[in-house]
Each structure stands twice: as C-alpha cells, then as structure tokens.
C-alpha cells in the first residue's frame, strides 16, 4: 500500500480540499424557492465544474432514495461530471453498498475511472437513510452484515482479476472476471464512517482509507475516532502513513459569524427534519461558533482557523465541505466556491504543504 | 403548549385512571394547552428494532411522533416485577437518544403495594434523564387502594394530582418562555 500510488495523494502538496453533496433537492426555508429535478441535477454538474475552475481537488456525490433527494443514480450524474471536467477528482460520497451488488457497483465506478481518465474514487457506506432497503426489499435487520459481506467482496473484485467467492446475500462467484478494470488497474475505495468508532475500527481492519463524516461536536471527539482507526490499522499489520483520511461536514461562510449562523440555521434545521426526521438543536448549533467545534461556519478567516486546528489534531489528507444542503440556493453555492478558491484554499495550502520553498532549495533557509 | 400523557399499561385501568384525572386537571388549569392522552391498551405497537422513528407504521409511528412533538410529558406505568412496564420501556426505546431534550417530564407510578415507592426515582427518572428530559422534582405514586371503581378516592392523591398538574404547567411555561428568549438571542 502506498499513499501516492494507491490513493493518488502526495502529502507534500498539503491538504486536499473538496466538496460533497447528498444530492438533496429541498425548498429553501428562507425563500421557499424549490427548483425542478432537472435543474437541480444540472446544478450539481455545474457545481463540480466550477469547483474545478476554482482549484478544488475533489467532488463527491451521495445517494438517498426518498423524497427531497435527486441523486439516486449518483454514478450516472458522476459520469456527466467526468465528461464536463478534466482535472478534479470525483467520487461517490457515499455509495450505499449494503443494498447494491458489488459487481455492478465496481463496473460503474471502474467505468467512471476510465471516463474520467483515472480520477474516480468509490466511497462505500452503510446508509444513514434507509429508503433503499424498503424499495429493494432488504431487511434492515441485516444492516451491518449486508455491508460487511458486500464490502469484502467489493475489495476482492478490486484487488483480483479473477474472483472466487461465496457468501450469504449473493450467489457465489466461480473464477469470475469483472470488467472493465480501472485505468491504471487500481482505484481508491474508501469506507464511509459516521459517528461510531466501531466502523472506524473495521476500516482499519480491512486496510482501507476512511472518510469520516462530522456534523457537530468537539474536535476531540472525532480525534478519538481517528485514533481508533490508526490503531486498528497498526494492529492489523498496516502502516497508518500509507492510508489517507478524509474528514467532511457542513460548511457555510458569510461576512461574519452571526450572519453565517442566522442564514444557515434554518437550512440545516429544516433540512435535517426533511432528511432524517428531526431538526438540529438551536443551542447546540450556536455552540458551533467555537473554534474547538468541528462545524466549518463563520467568515473565511474563522473557517481557515477551524480547519487548520482540525488539520493539526487529525492530520487528515483531505477535507470535504458540504455546502449545498437544505435548499441553499445555487447562486450562494457558487459564491461559496469562489470564496473557498480565493480566500480559504490558498491559506490552507500555504500552511499545510511541506515541499521545500525556493529559498530553502537555494540553501538560504538552512540553519 | 402540547402536553402528552402516556398510560403504559396494556391491561388494567389504574394508570389510565390517574392520567385521566391529570388530563382533566391540566385542561382546567391551562385551557390553552393541547392535552393528549395515549392509552397503550388501545394502541397496537410493534417492538422497537432500532430504526428511525418515522419509519414505523400505524400506531407505533403515531405514538413516537406524538411524543416527539410534545412540550411536556407525563409517563405513567404500573409496576410489574419491581419495574416499569415492558410496554412503556418499548415506547422509550422507539425514540432517538436525545428525544426528550427541552421537554418537561414527570412520572406516575401505580402499584399494588407501597413496596415500589422508589421505582420512579430509581428506575424511570434515570432513563428520562439520559434522554435529556427536564425532570420535575415531584412524581406521583398511587396505590391500588387509592382507586375504587375507576375513581381516585384518597384526598391526598387528589391534592397531589392538582399539585403535579400545576408544577408541570409552571415549569413548562417558564422553560418555553426562557428558551424562546435564549434562542432569539443566540445569533
């Protein structure tokens, strides 16, 4: 395993900055504007395209199969994004593997890797919304077992030209060849981890990189999950230095903290109610102004300060911002990308990249 | 103000009788309040299996959503085998961990003997506190000798019913008003 070869990260370049979307389509609680499905999908493609123009590193898209969501066929939309972009890395975030066939998922994403000229990544998760279990007739009782079995099979397909396999939830494979193969034979496959440390420990056991979703809470709580992940890698014979970590969470920036909190709260609160059934406690939300809390909210400098603190604590290789949740208008999303590209990303790169400066190379900075 | 009373007995009527009296008292003391009494005898609930509460169907979903929308709650239970009823514990298990945050709650325990006087404090309150409920100091313990033919007959219990309703309204109104002020000033 190698950070550079297998996961396409060069640590010397500093932290990668990306975006991710759940592909939700919700009325904006502030204006009640509610765009069509067609428009929302076009906006997702445009968001990724503009993220590339602004110099961002990654765009991820998830799937949810219920009202207020539009990216059920997330791999298809990512195909359009592959075609519309040239440089930005693209991936799912996350693919619900539990209720999908790993063969089909691998075929889709290997194809995406070919279409995008080697830019595709696959993030596999267990699902935080269970619409697909109902639609496809899966038993929620098997929530954990389904994922573990299918994730193992997915990794086996990714790492072997020929696969012989048998399990509980899918017919066996006998010396089967799965086509197509990713551009350079390999494609990054991540495990999506929510709150619980248990899932992080399993990611370490499998020897795969981890994408950690962080909604709210103190940085120290998530640091613990990351610690468990790296310990689990070590205990299973891997070197944590070979595995990238992505952290991500909601992101909102405005001219000052109060404006950001005021503008964003209704989107998050109503959006969470629509997506998950219950809103976001307003007092807990107000605490997110604290630099020690993970939520990336505030003016651009406050966000830089928060993310650098998290970088110090986590040492993650990529941060992904969730900027379009809960009906945030597309125009605002585009403004945010511009702000990230001009006011946030340059500072993050400056403080996290480790290649020798020109002065250093000339010997001027040596002690 | 939405007040929800849950009678956690699937058989017998003592818990329901006390909650009915509390409902009447709450309606008198706070006519503007919307007071709902859920009687588990008439509701057909499935066992909690850990799913999101909105994904249950029928009565199970109705009970979970009614509780989630409440400002104040009274959980009533008979004592079975020195504990709260399984039916009431199942209702609590349907809900998210922080389900009772910003809700004022208290408990009514009905029992056949005084042996179980501390069930509210030793067993039910720790669960409600874990779910982030704001707990009234007072609870109500009613023995079966206090209820004859579906009526509370002991003056002491009648007085406590009035006091508990009063405590609940006072605390809920104060909490809601102060919470509103605090939230308005947050950002």
pLDDT in tens, chain B (187 residues): 999 999 999 999 999 999 999 999 999 999 999 999 999 999 999 999 988 898 899 999 999 999 999 999 999 999 999 999 999 999 999 999 999 999 999 999 999 999 999 999 999 999 999 999 999 999 999 999 999 999 999 999 999 999 999 999 999 999 999 999 999 999 9
Low-confidence ranges of chain A (pLDDT < 50): 363-367
Domain A3-361 CATH assignment equals 3.20.20.30:
yes
Helix (H) or strand (E) holding A164: strand A162-165
Q: Is A95 exposed, middle or buried (0-12, 13-18, 19+ CB in 10 A)?
A: buried
What is the model's pLDDT at position A366? 42
What is the model's pLDDT at position B50? 86
What is the model's pLDDT at position A357? 54
Please state the ipTM of this predicted complex: 0.70
Cβ(B8)–Cβ(B15) below 8 Å: yes
Handedness of CA B121, B122, B128, B131 (dihedral sign): positive
Cβ(B168)–Cβ(A268) below 8 Å: no
Q: How many helices (H) and strands (E) does chain B have?
A: 6, 8
Residues of A in contact with B66 (CB under 8 A): none
Cβ(A265)–Cβ(A336) below 8 Å: no
Chain B nearest C-alpha distance from A141 (Å): 8
What is the per-residue pLDDT across B34-47, written as a single tens digit (0 to 9) for each? Answer: 999 999 999 999 99
Q: From residue A281, give the alpha-carbon distance in Å to each of A337, A361, B183.
A: 27, 52, 10
Chain B nearest C-alpha distance from A129 (Å): 9
What is the model's pLDDT at position A102? 97
Chain A nearest C-alpha distance from B86 (Å): 22
- For residue A222, which of A307, A110, A323 has the smallest C-alpha distance? A307
What is the model's pLDDT at position A141? 84
What is the model's pLDDT at position A82? 98
- The DSSP symbol for A30 reads T
Query: Could you count the other beta carbons within 10 Å of the beta carbon of residue B62?
Result: 14
SS3 content of chain B, % helix, strand, coil (to 5): 45, 20, 30
How many structural domains compose chain B? 1
The residues, any chain, with a CB within 8 Å of residue A205's CB and separated by 6 or more, are: A232, A236
DSSP, collapsed to helix, strand or coil, labels residue A95 as: strand
B135-145 core/surface letters (b: 16 or more CB in 10 A; e: else): bbeebbbbbee
Confirm or reject contact between B54 and chain A (CB < 8 A): yes
Question: How many residues can be counted in chain A?
Answer: 367
Residues of B in contact with A286 (CB under 8 A): 186-187
The answer to whether the CB atoms of B187 and A265 lie below 8 A apart is yes
What is the model's pLDDT at position A130? 73
What is the model's pLDDT at position A361? 52
Question: How many residues can be counted in chain B?
Answer: 187
Chain A nearest C-alpha distance from B126 (Å): 22
Residue B38: give its domain's CATH number: 3.40.50.360
Q: Which residue, chain included where needed, has tokens 């400056």?
A: A350
What is the per-residue pLDDT across A37-48, written as a single tens digit (0 to 9) for each? Answer: 999 999 999 999
Judged by CB atoms within 8 Å, which residues 87-106 of B form the interface with A? 96, 98, 101-102
Strands A189-193 and A120-125: parallel
Token duo for residue A308: 């650098």
Cβ(B123)–Cβ(B84) below 8 Å: yes
Chains A, B: CB contacts under 8 A, how many?
A: 33
What is the model's pLDDT at position A364? 44
- The DSSP symbol for B55 reads G
Confirm or reject contact between A276 and chain B (CB < 8 A): yes
d(CA A39, CA A30): 19
Q: Is A306 exposed, middle or buried (0-12, 13-18, 19+ CB in 10 A)?
A: buried
The answer to whether the CB atoms of B186 and A278 lie below 8 A apart is no
Query: Chain A residue with minimal CA distance to B97?
Result: A278
The answer to whether the CB atoms of B187 and A286 lie below 8 A apart is yes
d(CA A364, CA A124): 47
Cβ(B95)–Cβ(B56) below 8 Å: no
**Could you tell me the residue range of the domain that residue B133 belongs to?**
2-186
The residues, any chain, with a CB within 8 Å of residue B45's CB and separated by 6 or more, are: B59, B60, B63, B87, B90, B91, B94
Strand partners, A252: A297
Cβ(A121)–Cβ(A188) below 8 Å: yes
């Amino acid at each position: 395993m190698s950070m550079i070869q297998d996961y396409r990260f060069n640590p010397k370049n500093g932290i990668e900055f990306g975006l991710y979307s759940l592909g939700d389509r919700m009325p904006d609680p502030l204006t009640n504007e509610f765009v069509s499905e067609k428009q929302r999908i076009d906006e997702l493609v445009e968001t990724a395209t503009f993220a590339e123009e602004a110099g961002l590193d990654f765009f991820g898209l998830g799937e949810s199969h219920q009202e207020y969501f539009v990216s059920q066929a997330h791999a298809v939309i990512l195909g359009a994004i592959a075609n519309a972009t040239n440089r930005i890395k693209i991936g799912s975030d996350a693919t619900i593997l539990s209720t999908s066939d790993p063969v089909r998922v691998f075929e889709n994403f290997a194809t995406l890797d070919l279409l995008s000229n080697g830019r595709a990544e696959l993030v596999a998760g267990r699902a935080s919304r269970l619409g697909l279990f109902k639609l496809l007739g899966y038993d929620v009782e098997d929530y954990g077992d389904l994922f573990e079995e299918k994730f193992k099979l997915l990794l086996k397909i990714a790492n072997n030209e020929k696969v012989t396999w048998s399990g509980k939830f899918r017919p066996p494979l006998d010396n089967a060849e799965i086509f197509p193969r990713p551009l350079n034979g390999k494609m990054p496959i991540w495990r999506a981890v929510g709150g619980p440390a248990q899932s992080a420990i399993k990611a370490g056991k499998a020897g795969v990189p981890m994408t950690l979703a962080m909604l709210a809470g103190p940085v120290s709580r998530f640091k613990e999950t990351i610690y468990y992940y790296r310990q689990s890698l070590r205990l299973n014979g891997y070197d944590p230095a070979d595995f990238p970590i992505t952290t991500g969470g909601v992101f909102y920036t405005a001219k000052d903290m109060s404006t950001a909190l005021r503008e964003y709260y209704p989107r998050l609160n109503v959006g969470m109610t629509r997506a998950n059934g219950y809103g976001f406690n307003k007092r807990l939300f107000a605490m997110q102004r604290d630099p020690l809390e993970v939520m990336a909210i505030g003016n651009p400098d406050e966000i830089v300060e928060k993310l650098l603190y998290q970088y110090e604590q986590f040492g993650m290789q990529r941060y992904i911002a969730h900027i379009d949740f809960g009906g945030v208008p597309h125009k605002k999303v585009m403004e945010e990308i511009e702000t990230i590209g001009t006011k946030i990303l340059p500072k993050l790169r400056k403080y996290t990249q480790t290649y020798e400066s020109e002065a250093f190379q000339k010997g001027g900075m040596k002690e | 103000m939405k007040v929800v009373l849950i009678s956690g007995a699937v058989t017998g009527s003592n818990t329901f009788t006390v909650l009915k009296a509390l409902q009447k008292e709450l309606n008198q003391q706070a006519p503007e309040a919307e007071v709902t009494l859920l009687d588990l005898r008439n509701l057909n609930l499935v066992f909690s299996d850990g799913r999101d509460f909105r994904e249950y169907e029928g009565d199970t979903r109705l009970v979970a959503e009614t509780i989630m929308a409440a400002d104040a709650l009274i959980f009533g239970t008979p004592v079975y085998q020195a504990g709260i009823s399984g039916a009431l514990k199942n209702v609590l298990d349907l809900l998210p961990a922080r389900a009772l945050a910003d809700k004022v709650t208290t408990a009514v325990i009905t029992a056949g003997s005084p042996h179980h006087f501390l069930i509210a404090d030793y067993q039910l309150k720790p669960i409600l506190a874990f779910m982030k409920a704001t707990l009234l100091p007072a609870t109500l313990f009613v023995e079966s000798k206090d209820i004859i033919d579906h009526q509370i007959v002991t003056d002491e219990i009648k007085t406590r019913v009035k006091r508990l309703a009063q405590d609940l309204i006072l605390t809920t109104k104060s909490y809601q008003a102060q919470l509103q002020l605090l939230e308005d000033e947050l950002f």
